[in-house]
Amino acid sequence: MSETKDETEPTFEIFEKLIKVGLDNNWHLKEAKYKAHVSLLSHSISIAGVTEELMNIIGGFSEYDRKIALGLAFCHDFVKEDEERADKGQKVLTKERKERLAKILKSADFSDEDIEIIAGMYTYSSGLESPSQAFQLFKQPSPKKDSTKIRKLVHDIGDYLASIVDFTKPGNISESLINNLKEFDLNLTYHSISPIRGVLSSAVHEALHKKYQEKGWTPILYRANGTLYVGKGNPPTFTMEEIIEGIANSLKEYLNNALETVDVGSKAVGTLNATIIASPKFLFLNEKTIEQFWNKVFRQVKSPKNIDKENDKAYLKKWKIEEKEAIERMKLLIKLEDILKFTKGVIEVFEEKDKKDIIREFAKALNVEIAALEKGLDKIAVNNNSSPIREEKHDFAEKVIMGLGGWPTNENIFFEKIRDILCKCTIKEYKQRPPSSGLDYQKYAESLANDINYPLISDAKPKIEETYNHYSKGKIRGTAACNLCGQKPEKSVTAQFLGASQIFTNFLAGGSNIGGDNKLCVCSLCELEMELRGLMYSGDVKNLTEYYLIPQFSQPPVMYRRWRDIASHLIEGMDKNGVYALRDFYSWARKLNEDFSSLNDDAKKIISQILNPSKGVIDKVEQVLKDDIFGGDIEEAKKTLSLSECKNWKDLSNTVIKKISTSKEMKENESSEDGIPDDIRDIIKNILHQNAGTYIGITPNYILVNSLDYIDDREAVKALIYLFRGALASRLFLCSTIIKDINFEPLFEYTPKGAVLTSMPLDLDRILNSINIPLVDSWLPLEKVDVFLKKFSCVVLLGDYAWRENKGKYIYILTNLPGLTLNHIALNNNGNLKNAIDWLDIIFEEGKYATDVVHGR
């Protein structure tokens, strides 16, 4: 077909139109594969994406070939939209089916000629079950061009690949699939990991993707626990050293990216009366994190508003100055003492053998005798403010002041001077220390390599035995294994991450109390996972809820980039006229009640808003370009940015954002083709990144996102809210959403069995059943997503209308007769009952309530 006309739309634009058609026809609610729990829409996208990637690998196909293949692949199982006609093996195009196929493709702007070609390739002999079906095959239209390759890629390879649920299980990759791939000189291999740790596992996935790609193998199918690859020849092999190096580099890349938007070093700052250095590994990542650390210390430490005049009266009199001035001196002393306490904490992080040399350097920088500094810092570190100790602390702080030139006339300049001294001294010592003094990438990479199940780079038996021994020893003697993953524990966990110590753990002796020597413990990997997630959130991480978004389809690279960007925006929401944040469930409820069909447009709307950012982002970029970079000279800006056609700053800013948002990811030393200088590109990308919402770990295999908890003591109410959020995410991302019970616990069950998985109190399970929302093995089924979203939207709106502040209102509505709710409204609200009656009708409509009702048919 390669000689056929070659003018066609970009693949992504065709994808968009086909996805819209699928959503409008409820393909997202139809199950494509029995027991595979994959919707017809997701499966159709997967076949199309896999076929597109295979065509890239094989080569020799025109753009028109790709368009035809995309249409054929997307419509491969279109008959399954009508369950009564979706009988197995029925791939014969009847007149009625051909008309339906034509309608679908015309909605995506395929021409009559395109449709004839696709219809000619649609039928194939595989799976025909009877002579009558075989006879029907002879009556099918023939393709106008020789399209054997495309037919085989779609029907015999793409469909089979997209249907594989777990490629790690023996027998799930058929011999026929291997033979069909061999016709194109292709072979398959995969990688798999377990458990799924979140950020750390995303780093492992990324590292393995790069290693396979370096050896010529292309990712073709993504699952939460691994990736399937296509390549030529025998599968590649890797040494342990190669894998460890790759994981270490992936971790470095994650931290380097975090450094662009987060004050990583500030996360090392602890509290004065507890842990002074909260995370040494983030203090000593590089010089920038050290600067961030000391900047945060000097921002955090404040002069006291008042002093203890009674205990400090001797000191105040010693200076023989006015009381007001003496009080100001005392405040300065106390602030300096707190800062010096952090100095002591920094020194304590160093190896014992190095501390003498480090103290000598700090003493030299502060112009204080070594013995005086050592003794003074020891006193500073003591949490004891009795009079003798207080005076010794004051004496030491005053020595530091005298060493730096005496009492300052300007306190701000004085503390800036001390900050610079401490920062430079710390950086100097950091440069002389081994890399392991900060984050030991090598050590963590070695541990993470043990999570790799395939390719086999080490003997798995020792790892299994070690985990089992820790687990069984804990059961027998009450000695804990890691509370989260079961590996060797290394430190006690703090309430900062897991909250109350009463949470359940299966890694302690049965019936034992948690406390004393029986504290909850975590391994080094789980500790690092907690800390990495904490980098991306400024509040208390234990107040976050974890959502794993696992795609139901295997995205080609262009779709993955959009999927990633959609996720980052949806977590925090878009502008006022766009898409709301996941946590804003009331706004979503109102929106869905007003126009449920608009949900089908939201994925496309989000993408268009990524390409056309909100007004606030444009204004920020405009301000930076106009004021900071070009000083108001728009002609210079247009010349530098190669945008002579732009009429004003707003137009120019919007165009720059579009160019940067849609450009491909550039490799190191690769030049941009859009005319924007690299330094300006970096500044604008940083602005866009800061406004892109909060996400944690992102790979094509899954996205891990955090959202604030819904605060309510009633577990049933929280479970309903989380189910609603998860259903929204599933609907908008075409993914399965897994909502975790215990923060930071690795994901061990990662094969999707529906739309949303979340813990559900038993009584709530029964309540949902009563309104025709049955959960299957704790999963919300795909076909019930829209029904649940519509019903619960009505519950939210009705609850707000009737009760306002009553947090138990949602459960009350679901567990009481509709008449009681109406009676409450009539007695207390004096409002219009019509909306309430309509909402109750939708909530409690039984039996026949299904997608047709949701969509108003």
Task: Kindly report, residue by residue over 461-520, the tens digit of the pLDDT.
Answer: 565 566 556 555 555 555 567 878 878 777 766 544 555 444 444 444 444 444 444 556
Mapping DSSP onto H, E and C, the string for 205-224 reads HHHHHHHHHHCCCEEEEEEC
User: For residues 180 and 157, is the Cβ–Cβ distance under 8 A?
Assistant: yes
Which residue would you say has higher pLDDT here, 6 or 206?
A: 206
Q: Quick one: pLDDT band at residue 749, thresholds 50, 70, 90?
A: confident
Which of 109-113, 244-248, 443-447, 559-563 shows the lowest per-residue confidence on average (mean pLDDT)?
559-563
User: What average pLDDT does this structure show over 332-337?
Assistant: 91
**What is the C-alpha to C-alpha distance for residues 840 and 813, in angstroms, rounded to an integer?**
9
User: For residues 264 and 535, is the Cβ–Cβ distance under 8 A?
Assistant: yes
Q: Quick one: pLDDT band at residue 12, thresholds 50, 70, 90?
A: low
Cβ neighbours of 674 (radius 10 Å): 15
Q: Quick one: pLDDT band at residue 804, thresholds 50, 70, 90?
A: low
Q: Quick one: pLDDT band at residue 80, thresholds 50, 70, 90?
A: confident
pLDDT at 356 over 90: no
pLDDT at 616 over 70: no
Report the DSSP pairing between strands 703-708 and 521-522. Answer: unpaired
Which of 31-40, 237-246, 362-371, 732-741 shows the lowest per-residue confidence on average (mean pLDDT)?
31-40
Close Cβ partners of 111 (under 8 Å, ≥ 6 residues apart): none
- Judge residue 263's burial from the number of C-beta atoms within 10 Å of its C-beta, 0-12 exposed, 13-18 middle, 19 or more buried: buried
pLDDT given at position 567 = 62
Q: Quick one: pLDDT band at residue 569, thresholds 50, 70, 90?
A: low
User: For residues 11 and 70, is the Cβ–Cβ distance under 8 A?
Assistant: yes
Share of residues in the chain with pLDDT > 90 (%): 29
Residue-wise pLDDT tens digits, 112-164: 999 999 998 886 444 444 444 444 444 444 444 447 889 999 999 999 998 88
Q: Among candidates 189, 49, 81, 188, which has minimal Cα distance to 556?
A: 49
Which of 275-284, 519-528, 711-720 shows the lowest per-residue confidence on average (mean pLDDT)?
711-720
Share of residues in the chain with pLDDT > 70 (%): 75
Residue-wise pLDDT tens digits, 660-700: 754 544 444 444 556 788 888 878 877 765 544 344 566 78
Which residue would you say has higher pLDDT here, 18 or 494?
A: 18
pLDDT given at position 45 = 86
Residue-wise pLDDT tens digits, 214-229: 999 999 999 999 999 9
User: For residues 706 and 537, is the Cβ–Cβ distance under 8 A?
Assistant: yes
Which of 245-254, 363-372, 754-763 shows the lowest per-residue confidence on average (mean pLDDT)?
754-763
User: For residues 836 and 800, is the Cβ–Cβ distance under 8 A?
Assistant: no
Cβ neighbours of 7 (radius 10 Å): 7
Q: Among candidates 793, 798, 760, which has minimal Cα distance to 776?
A: 760
Report the DSSP pairing between strands 544-551 and 491-492. Answer: unpaired
User: For residues 778 and 758, is the Cβ–Cβ distance under 8 A?
Assistant: yes
Tell me how many degrees the CA angle 552-557-560 measures, rounded to the nearest 5: 45
Largest alpha-carbon pair distance within the chain? 112
pLDDT at 413 over 90: yes
Domain chopping of the chain, boundaries: 1-163, 286-435, 459-536, 543-601+696-854, 615-690
Tokens of 745: 């616990």
User: What average pLDDT does this structure show over 526-546?
Assistant: 76
Tokens of 778: 């704790």
Residues in the chain: 857
Helix H segments across 775-832? 785-802, 809-815, 818-828
CA distances for 320 relative to 310, 401, 402, 572, angstroms? 17, 18, 17, 57
What are 31's strand-pairing partners? Answer: 39
pLDDT at 805 over 90: no
CA distances for 222 relative to 49, 160, 275, 560, 750, angstroms? 11, 14, 41, 11, 12
User: Which pTM was predicted?
Assistant: 0.77
